[in-house]
Amino acid sequence: MNRLLAVLILSAAISVAPASSAEEEASIKPWSVELRVRQYFGSHTSYEFGNPFPPYQAPLSRLEFPLNSWWAGVELKRSFSRFSVGLEALRNLSDEADGHFKDSDWDDENKPDLKTIYSLSSTRIEPSYSVRGDVDLKIADWVGLPGGFDLRPVLGFRWQRHTLVAHDGLQVSPVPGDGTPPISLPGDGIRFEQTYYHTFLGLKMAYEWDSPRYVSKLGMRMQLDWAYVAGDNEDHHLLRVGRRFTYEKTQGDGWHTALGLDIGLTRQLSANLELDYLRQDTTGSHRLVNRTLGQDFRFHHGVKVWSEQASLTLGLKYAF
């Protein structure tokens, strides 16, 4: 009887014993919110198109907009035992991009490889946004990875909208021996709005050290993903005769990688550092509309829209 009573007491104690710390963290603090500040460097978004008429030079015109600027926003995440769902939203803090907008033309039909016009302008950033949502699935235990490692396929969506205004430029002739003096371009010259849509698929990898010194948590993480990209551009040349608009509709690929470091300050508060790189390459159609001059036509020759975005993000995360 005494042995039976001891077994019953032990069984009851086991049934109400607290979960492991990791399980407790997951069950008690499934939510997290992170304040994020991001700086883009060495970044641009650009497009070009060719001449649809003889001699068919490509490019005929190329426009390169700098994206080097500060952004800020928030990420909200909900973790479950097997998967997690996250949503990030950012907006620009900078009113001006660091760097110059570059506008190049090759419009000499007798010398199609000769750049004939080149201008540099400052770039104002009007309200612009970046949104990302994703869901991932924990499979580290399914593939037999040792403790501390995490591996998760990820599926998600990115949306970017850049609203950029080239202003107060200077146009020069890059033709050798051409003595044409530089031309000042005061005020707003080009208003450009671009939207990118990404559907991406990739892999998240992470490692967390067991009982790190001085901090409550120390982990590294990495993400690699590929995206199907669709893009929409609208370019309003404010200094041209009439109301001249061009539109690009393009599709292509996006490649993204990110490397992060997570440092636990307390059991609920952590600081995060992330280095991120995104490359997008798309092709499609170019449409020119200037109803004042009776122009409205579309073509595909030499149409390319691409972007490189490198950034460093600092975050402060609170789990609850």
* pLDDT top residue among 15 and 315: 315
Q: Domain with 202 in it: what CATH number?
A: 2.40.128.90
Number of CB atoms found within 10 A of residue 108's CB: 15
Quickly tell me which residue has 């080149």 as its tokens: 118
Among candidate residues 132, 275, 264, 295, the one with its CA nearest the CA of residue 202: 132
CA neighbours closer than 13 Å in the CB half-sphere of residue 53: 6
Give the domain range for residue 175. 39-319
Query: Is 129 a domain residue?
Result: yes
Is position 60 within any domain?
A: yes
Mean pLDDT throughout 192-204? 98
pLDDT of residue 179: 82
Residue 108 has pLDDT above 80, yes or no: yes
pLDDT given for residue 28 in this prediction: 67
On whether residue 6 sits in a domain, the answer given is: no
Secondary structure of the chain in HEC code, one letter for each residue: CHHHHHHHHHHHHHHCCCCCHHHHHHHHCCEEEEEEEEEEEEEEEEEEECCCCCCCCCCCEEEEEECCCEEEEEEEEEECCCEEEEEEEEEECCCECCCCEEEEECCCCCCCCCCCEEEEEEEEEEEEEEEEEEEEECCCCCCCCCCCEEEEEEEEEEEEEEEEEEEEEEEECCCCCCCCCCEEEEEEEEEEEEEEEEEEEEEEEEEECCCCCCCCEEEEEEEEEEEEEEEEEEEEECCCCCCEEEEEEEEEEEEEEEEEEEEECCCCEEEEEEEEEEEEEEEEEEEEEEHHHCEEEEECCCCEEEEEEEEEEEEEEEEC
Would you place residue 49 in the very low, low, confident or very high pLDDT band (cuts 50, 70, 90)?
very high
Q: Is the residue at 14 inside a domain?
A: no
Residue of 122, 115, 113 whose CA lies nearest to 170: 122
Q: Each residue of 259-285: pLDDT tens digit?
A: 999 999 999 999 999 999 999 999 999
Nearest to 116 by CA among 60, 154, 66, 55: 60
Overall domain count for the chain: 1
**Residue 240 confidence class, pLDDT cut points 50, 70, 90:** confident
Q: Does residue 28 lie in a domain region? A: no
What would the pLDDT profile of 137-177 be if each residue is shown by its tens digit?
999 999 999 999 999 999 999 999 999 999 999 999 999 88
Q: Is 180 contained in some domain?
A: yes
The answer to whether residue 12 scores a pLDDT higher than 70 is no
> What pLDDT does 14 receive?
34
pLDDT at 24 over 90: no
Domain membership of residue 4 (yes or no) is: no
Residue 146 domain-assigned (yes or no): yes
